[in-house]
Every structure is written in C-alpha cells, then in structure tokens.
A and B are shown apart, each in its own frame.
Chain A
C-alpha cells in the first residue's frame, strides 16, 4: 500500500511542523511541509493529498489574536480547496495554532448552527507549558480519536487556548467534543486548574466537525510519540502516546 500523502501547512511563524512531520512518518504517512505561498501560487494543490495538518506555532506572530490572520488565509485564498477537501471526507487535523485558525475561519465546528466559538486568552492570563491528560469521547464521530481507550498524555503550550462558545451543550450532545481535559486518574477535570490548564468551558481540549473528519485540539500529541518524551519516564511512566491520533488519521486517509 502507498503511504498516504500528508500536507503539513507552513505559514510564517509556524514552528511545530517538523516534529509533526516526524509523527506522521512514524505513523506510516508520507508528509510534506508546504508553504501557504506555494498553495496560493498554485504550485501545490490540496487535492493531491490524502490528509492535511495545520500544525502549531505563532502564525504571523498571532497579531490580532492567535491564528486570526492564518484563518483569513484559510477562508480567503484556500477556501474552495479546503471546503472541497473536507466535503470529500478527507481528514484534517489542526493542532494548537491550527485549531485556532480552523475555529476562527469557521471550518470548525463546521456547522453554522453550532457556532460561533473562539479560543482566547487563558484564564491565568499568560502562556503556559505543562503536560495534560486528555479523555477521548467514545461517542464522538471523530476519525482521529476513534477506538482510543486510554487517556492521551501530552503537553499544552499556549497563551490563548480557552475555548468559549454559547453552544457547548449542543457540541456535547452531538459528540463533537472529541477530547476533554482530565485529571491524571482519568476523571473529569471539572474546570479545575491545572488539569484544565486554560479555563476552557466544558473542559474542551478538542472538537471535531459533525462528519468527524476535521479535528482541532490545543494540546500537542506530536510531542509525545516516543516513550522518552514522557515527563515521568525516569519513574517508569509510560503509555498515553499521542502517536495514536496520527496512526488513526493515516489509517483513515489510506482507506479513502
């Protein structure tokens, strides 16, 4: 079987693209980091790929709000291509800055009736880097979290990750809250810091669209793909690899 081609979008200020590419390789994909300028100039076309990842970083310096200017790239220059890509059921993953851009451009939640939502400044008022525990919702249609039983453990590193929406109950009811912040023992964070690191409503760490092929999340599963990245590996801490999200995405893309 050919490895699915994965486009990893790079805009000015993107910075977790290289480790995301490595995660894709370990998951069995064939990643390529593509600059948004290359897409705008038509040198690359989304249709030639089986999966798209918008990775973390500070696109355009996060001027005017995290991911805001990148969201304008998505909703102006790439609107038709990305809309068609998603409509075709192909998987799209937005991590951190990528989640912010997908949300602010309306590709998430991807249904006008479920929006709008935003990601804004952490309740603490500042950037924070710490490891968190994520509980996948087994009822979610999300293709990336499908079948993941154990909590995922990975770091957050953001200043604007607080999920705010009027429609949290509706998102929950439809199973679109694919990932929630949890205590280390897997019980809900219940809004409590630091398990919920940013004050997100409903402990929301990631949401998907109703079709389940677009996922956005604030934490960084690409930073926990081998055991020695786990903060407690010297204490025999293990498991909860974020790699599974990429494996699921790649597997799904391969089946397309």
Chain B
C-alpha cells in the first residue's frame, strides 16, 4: 500500500516531446501512433494525512501555473493492462536501488520543511499512447523508446513502484577454495564471478593463498580482480610484447607505454611538466601561481548499455580524477563515436540499442552532468562510422586549475581513512572488470549493476569542500572512488603504508549489502582522503557546513597489509606487496603485416568537385555540430574567450578553444584546448593515424594562437582485443606513431588511458572489433588572449595564404569515403620541419599579421575554405595553380587530400610581405582573396572546379540533402 500522485500538465505548455516520439516510432515501423501525453508519477509509502498529501501536491510536486496534481491511495497490486478507447498506457519506473535524485529531494524537503518523516518515495513516468496500436507495438515502443531494461522496468497500465526491499546487515564472507583446482576450474570461477582474470593470474592467486594456508574470501578475490584489471593496471601497455613487423623482423618490446609514449616525454624533457603519468591527471605549469591538470577517460561499455547513465557517470568520473589532484575543475571535453544515425532498425545487432538512441542518451548524459556541475563543455567532436554501432566510444575529459604545491600525495601511518560524498549502494559492481571484457548480445542483462546514474549535485558539493580542505591543509592524500570503489582507492593510497578498514562504518544507501559489495561498489560521487587525526574535527565540520557526508572508516597503518573487517570479523587480509606486485607480467604476441593496400589512383572513380564538396560538408562527421554544442553550457565560468562556435553568426567550427580561468585576469595568458582524431586513417595504418592525430591537435592549437613550444599531449586508445596478435600489432604501430610525432613536435605526453576489448561478440560468437581509435587531446598556452585568432574570414580584399605542402594523400581521406574506396596514394605523413613551420606561423600571429587561420583536416583544402566562408559569411576566390605541392597532383588531390601540417591564413594585403618574410624557408603561397560577393569559387589550370554560394555551403553543412 502506498500513495500514488499524478502530475498532469494543464495543456498550456507544449514541447516537441510527442512529435519526437512519433518520429522515432516511425523508424521502428510503427505508424499508428498519433499523439502522446506525458505525466509524472510519485509514489509515497508512509503514514500520511490527506492534508499532508495535499500540501506536498500543491507546494512541492506540481507547478500550479502549468500543472495539477492528484493523489490516490493504492491498497494492493495494480490492475492489469487494458487498452483505453483510443490507445494504451505505459508506465516506467526505476529498478530498486538505481540512484533517483528527485525522490531523494522529496524525502529531504518533506522532512526538513514540513516535518513529514519516515516516508519512502519512488518516481515514474506515465505515457498515454494515442492511436491505432497493437499490443505488440506497445511493447516494442516501451522496450525501444520509453524504457531501458538496464535501469528501468515498464508496465502496460498502472505500475507498481519498486521500493527498496530492506534487508538485515550482514558480515557474510564466503571462502572460495582454490587449492587443488584444475586450470579449467580456475577459469570457470573467473568467468562465473566476472573476474576477467586469465589462467596465469588465477594460478598466482591460488598459490598466494596456498602459501597462507587458507582459501581467499570473496572480498579478497574481488579485490585482486579489480586491482589487476586491465582498466586499473593497464596490463597490455606494461606487458612484454614479442613483435613481428612486416619484414618478418622480430623484437621484444619491454613495456609499450614505457618504451614509446613515456620515453618521448622523458626525451623531450620540458621543465613545465609538473606531473606525467603518476597522478590521476597530467599536470603542467600555467603561470607563477597556478598549475593546470588535464585528464581524458573513456566510458564506452556503460554508454552502450545505458547511454544517459554511462555518459553521465563518465563525466562524473573524469571530474573526480581532477578533484583527485586537488584541483578545481574548470572545463569538460567530449569526443563521441557513434554508428550511423539512419541505420535501418534490422541492421542493429542483437542486444544493442539503435545508434540514434545511443547518441541522444549520451548527449543528454553529458549535458546533465557537465551543466549541473557548472563546468563549460567546450571542446569536442562527433564521428560516425558503422563499426561503432554496437560499441560506441565516449571520451570525456576534464581540465582543472590549482595553486601550485598544494596537492599532497602521501598518506601517513596513523592518518584516518575518510570517505566523503555519496553513499554506497549496490551500483556499479564489477565496473572495472566489466569494462575490461568485450560486449556481447547478453551483456545488458548480465551486467545490469555495472551501470549507474549519477547525482552531479553531490559531486559539486564535494568539489567545493575539497578545494577548501586543500587550502586549509586538512589531508595528506586524496583519491577518487572510481573503478573498484573503495578497494582500489584505499589499496592505492595505502600501497606504501598499509590500511585497516571497518566496513560497517561505510554509510549505505540501503542496508543489506554484503561486505564485498560495500568494498567493491562503484557508487558515484565519493572521494577518499587520508586525514591526520588532529585535522579530522575541522574536516568533519567543514563537510557538515556544506552538507557533505564524511565518515571515518579506518586508518592507514605501517604494516604493509590491507586488512578489511566487518565488525570484529576479518573479511580480507592481503599484503600490499602481493596486491600491487603479485600480478604476473603478461607476455603477448604482436604482429604487423603492413599497411592495408589501397586502390591505385586510376581505379578510383573521380567525383566532380562541385558535387564532392557539398557531399563532404553534409557528411555527418564533418557537418555542423551546433545543435549538440548548444545543449552544453559552454559559457559558465565566464572564461570561454574563443568559443566552440565562432564567426559573425556564432556558428563556425572553431579549431580549438581559448580559456581564461577566473582569478587569472591579472595577466594576459590563456589556455588552449585542442584535439586530433581520425579513425579512417587508422583503418589503413595506425602509425599514420597516430602522427596525424598529434599533428592535428598541435596545428589546431597553433591555429588559434597557442605557442607551439607549450603543448602537452594526452593519449586515449580505444582498441579491440589485444589477445589477437594482429590487433596488438596495430596498437604497437599507433603507440610508435605517438612517440615519433611527440618527438617531432617536442610535445610531451602527460597523461593517457587505454580502453581495450572494444568489440561486440554476437550470438554467433564472432567478434566485431571497432577500428582502433586514438584520441589525442592537447593543452597549451596562448601568451596573450587578445592575440587569439578565429577561423572565420574577416574582411573582403584580404589575401588567403596556404602554409604547408599538399601531397598525394587521399588514402583514408573523407573524399575516399565518398567514393566508397580507401582512396589512392598514401595516408598522411609527418610534415618536414613541422615544428619550425608552426613556430613561424605563431611569430606571424604575435606580430599581428594573421586575421584568420584554419587548419586543413577532414575534407582537405576545399572543406576548410568552405568552413571559413560559412563562419565569416564572406566569399573566397581561390586559384590552386600556385598551391605548394609535392609530386604531380590531380585536381582531387589538390582539393581533398588530407596532408598534415597545413593551415589557411588570412592576411591583409599591406602585410603580405611581412608575412612571407616570417614564413621564409617554409612552403607558403598566396592562393586567393576574400570576396564580398558571398561565393566560393575555386579554379585550377584555368578550369572552374567549384562555384557555390556561401548560403548553399551553409545549407549543406547544416545537413540539407545534396
């Protein structure tokens, strides 16, 4: 029995929700849906007076101007579904235990303001589906559009709310005997418990506990599995790799990360790098007072299953990484890869959501978390390829700022272990191991608890408290509860000391969790601090003042052991040495059989440029992302100086963003965020992809005014299974490309993360890996924000220069995608003397000679020129005879080649000479002029190749049919 409250809109306000739903229903083949009415439901269990229910309805739950609320008492189970006269009713609620911030607020407000206590609240959504629908249609709508079985359940007709079933607290810890088990049996345990451990690892654990003369507990086994997961420890990048190249030459790679990416950072040796690959985020100097941190993560698997929650908690997680280096987060970045939005429903693999639904959910998830934290989401990209259909990629990054020297890193014996922020529930169990396995058609059902919904406001309060605690010196170390939950956080912080934890002290969302569940839970919005006992009272008071829960759950010791108790009972006792160094090093095979052969030029059908350019502009990966960008608050903080959208109508695609952190306005320096990503090139050659991504990130930064000698890089690999030698061989190639490009640009890597096993295993057991995808993110310094440059054309009469040579590099290009081939020639390589070239461009910018600057990337010269026209709403007249080229190039190669190292630069005629002098020794040529007539005209060899109005370009770029 409970009360059911229905919030009914009074019809005064209309949104597009019904229209969007009808549209989506059509894509499912359901044409009978004519209208949808929405209602919000609340369910309250507890002892309430009618007057109290009336009060809650009118003063809290409904907006009296636009809604009416009614309540009713429900004594028993709800009646069964019956079709209404003209339609059906579907009601949707959350599974018990899924985070529900709204229900939480109702309980809190009712208690605090009206003294209505001891109530439980659940929420729901009611959909009245009007039209000519069969029952099967209604189920399909409910399953595909109205609910997600990972976190929700639906009813035809009135729902029964799922209040949490409370259970008794338990100190139960199962012993899992491993001694004497066969290899088969060991692997079976790993599989059944979702441990993602291989045979060698299971054997190591068996032997360790045999030495102790006892069996491991479930908590110990789970702790080891999480700590040793690919997600946490990056076994592949640390493994010993036997590599065979295309010539059959073999060599041993002693740790891929160490020998490529970290080696480059050390060789470059920049003094402004404050922390690389050690902390939760990379850290560089910003000015005399502040340091800047940057971290990029992926949240692919959770986003595939529950797009909103997956992306939501992805943002939450990476922001906690920044809080975990004692910094104040100041910006969020996001790069997304999805399947085609128009994919026919029958081509969606079993168990997967449609790419449209994944995209909608992911974008809403990022919007919800970033906006509510008050962080501008400023830099990003969205790419589409069929191979991301079942395995979308969601990269999320966070930038932070902190006063120098305040981040404390070492827990001391005697420090209290303090957990602050959200409460612990069953959410997110097995997140780290789950993300270290491939997705299958059944993952959604099995891994339901691995996906969570975030509560950004809790994290916002945690962020404020940590900044204050840092400034008052209240902790000796801090880390976030991410993958592996408390087990990873405490295990990591106590690595060099030891730790003793009392699990019964951990505040829970609901009782009944077993010790291992408390210890492994990945409930969001929690941080762990090492607090000197003398500082604990002050921290406790600070947290109370800010409404943040803080609990002392144990202490750091000097025993070198991780001891976990529930009450008196010891439920885990492992040496830190074994936990952190007992993992057997993997030995892996890698093979590289050479670049995928591309079709010779002669067999590539040429598309007339007048048709190819519109088609490229309309390509989903190139077309305008304005609708998405505006869903994110990119202005909060008041520091977005060069915005993601630029130009005279605020809709041009900026190459990079310039940020001016609040509190730093006393000087002129700013931060530049840029990125590079190009999986199409990677399909041909991952090495070419890596250097192209680094070059793109660097040239995007240079294009807005960054000093090329201040660029720091982050790498994020999303790859298939490294267990297959070919897949690992491609990863080796990419890592080596990262190294070579970083050395060429003298740009250190400061942080990175890999997400492997991005594959979908269908009902037939066949794996479909994603194309290996590398994201390079860059953070750099612009010396004076007033000198920042945008890509929009500025004034008719100005000259357009190209810097950099164009080569026969259509392989892996977007033009090649249009023609349905891999493209001809080569994938892009590194430009000669690239760093000197970018320095020269930067000097020209510092001298005030550059009015606009745009990088040439997807779609090559033609697309870059068109984008400059669109952003400035001005025309361009170009003649490509003067184009600096290498070799003999076709018209298509001149227009659409995606050669690296190139920029288009607008220069006033009076500065022509000065500009050329500064670029002396580099390929730079005047190729055209800015025109007032609003047309893009491109000629070559006395032929007119392109002649389109800027209005037409804009329409194609906004997605109009070509």
Contact = CB atoms under 8 A, between A and B. Distances in A.
Interface of A: 12-16, 18-19, 22, 35, 37-38, 56-58, 60-65, 68-69, 72, 76, 104, 116-118, 120-131, 155, 157, 162, 164-165, 220, 222-223, 225-226, 228-229, 231-232, 234-235
Given A15-B373, A127-B633, A165-B65, 9 more contacts: A63-B101, A118-B63, A120-B66, A126-B631, A164-B65, A228-B641, A231-B645, A232-B650, A234-B789
B867 to A, nearest CB: 15
Contacts of A62: 372
Contacts of A116: 64-65
A247 B817 CA distance: 56
A22 B650 contact: no
B662 A121 contact: no
Given A63-B102, A64-B105, A131-B650, A226 B665 contact: yes
Contacts of B455: 61
A222 B639 CA distance: 11
Given A58-B457, A64-B102, A72 B372 contact: no
B637 interface: yes
Contact of B633 (A104, A157, A162): A157
A64 B110 CA distance: 12
A46 to B, nearest CB: 18
A121 B633 contact: no
A69 B65 contact: no
A164 B633 contact: no
Which of B20, B461, B633 gathers the greatest number of chain A CB atoms within 10 Å? Answer: B633
Given A60-B105, A61-B372, A223 B635 contact: yes
Given A61-B105, A64-B105, A19 B65 contact: no
Query: Chain A: interface secondary structure?
Result: mixed
Interface in B347-374: 367, 371-374
A237 to B, nearest CB: 9
Given A15-B373, A58-B371, A234 B633 contact: no
A122 B367 CA distance: 15
A198 B887 CA distance: 55
B60 interface: yes
Nearest to B328: A18
B373 A130 contact: no
A226 B666 CA distance: 13
B63 A65 contact: yes
Given A127-B367, A164-B65, A72 B113 contact: yes
A244 to B, nearest CB: 16
A127 B650 CA distance: 18
A12 B59 CA distance: 20
Interface in B87-138: 101-102, 104-106, 109, 113
A38 B547 CA distance: 11
Nearest to A227: B786
B580 interface: no
A120 B66 CA distance: 8
B785 A124 contact: no
Nearest to B626: A130
Contact of B635 (A57, A68, A155, A226): A155
Interface in B638-662: 638, 640-643, 645-648, 650, 660, 662
B65 A231 contact: no
A13 B547 CA distance: 11
A12 B457 contact: yes
B15 A125 contact: yes
Contact of B545 (A35, A65, A157, A162): A35
B774 to A, nearest CB: 29
14 contacts: A12-B460, A13-B372, A14-B374, A22-B665, A58-B374, A58-B456, A61-B456, A64-B102, A68-B60, A125-B16, A129-B631, A130-B630, A164-B13, A231-B646
A69 B102 CA distance: 11
Nearest to A226: B665
B400 to A, nearest CB: 14
B interface bracket (residues with beta carbon within 8 Å of A):
35 or more
Contact of B66 (A60, A118, A129): A118
A231 B645 CA distance: 8
A19 B638 contact: yes
Contacts of B647: 235
A19 B662 contact: yes
Contacts of A38: 545
A121 B15 CA distance: 8
A64 B461 contact: no
Nearest to B544: A37
Interface in B1-49: 12-17, 20
Nearest to B633: A157
Nearest to A73: B113
A-B interface, 10 closest residue pairs, ranked by CB to CB distance from nearest: A15-B374, A63-B105, A118-B65, A125-B15, A19-B638, A61-B457, A157-B633, A155-B635, A13-B457, A58-B372
A64 B106 contact: yes
Contacts of B101: 61, 63
Given A68-B60, A157-B636, A164-B65, A234 B788 contact: yes
A102 B532 CA distance: 43
Contacts of A64: 60-61, 102, 105-106, 109
Contacts of B660: 228
Given A37-B546, A231-B650, A60 B632 contact: no
A72 B373 contact: no
A16 B633 CA distance: 12
A234 B646 contact: yes
Contacts of A68: 60, 63
A40 B646 CA distance: 44
Contacts of A15: 372-374, 460, 636
A22 to B, nearest CB: 6
A116 B64 CA distance: 8
B790 interface: yes
A229 B641 contact: yes
| Residue among B63, B632, B646 with the highest chain A CB neighbour number at 10 A | B63
B634 interface: yes
B13 A120 contact: yes
Given A63-B101, A234-B789, A16 B461 contact: no
A227 to B, nearest CB: 9
B447 to A, nearest CB: 27
A129 B632 contact: yes
Interface string B852-891: 0000000000000000000000000000000000000000
B177 to A, nearest CB: 47
B794 interface: yes
B546 A129 contact: no
Contacts of B642: 234
B612 interface: no
A235 B545 contact: no
B792 interface: yes
Contacts of B637: 18-19
Contacts of B367: 126-127
Interface in B593-650: 629-638, 640-643, 645-648, 650
Contact of A37 (B64, B106, B545, B634): B545
B125 to A, nearest CB: 15
Given A58-B457, A61-B101, A235-B794, A37 B662 contact: no
Given A125-B15, A228-B785, A117 B374 contact: no
Contacts of B374: 14-16, 57-58
Given A19-B638, A121-B15, A164-B13, A72 B109 contact: yes
Contact of A234 (B373, B457, B645, B790): B790
A232 B638 contact: no
A19 B662 CA distance: 7
Contact of A16 (B66, B636, B648): B636
Contacts of B109: 64, 69, 72
Contacts of A13: 372, 457, 460-461
Nearest to A121: B15
Contacts of A37: 545-547
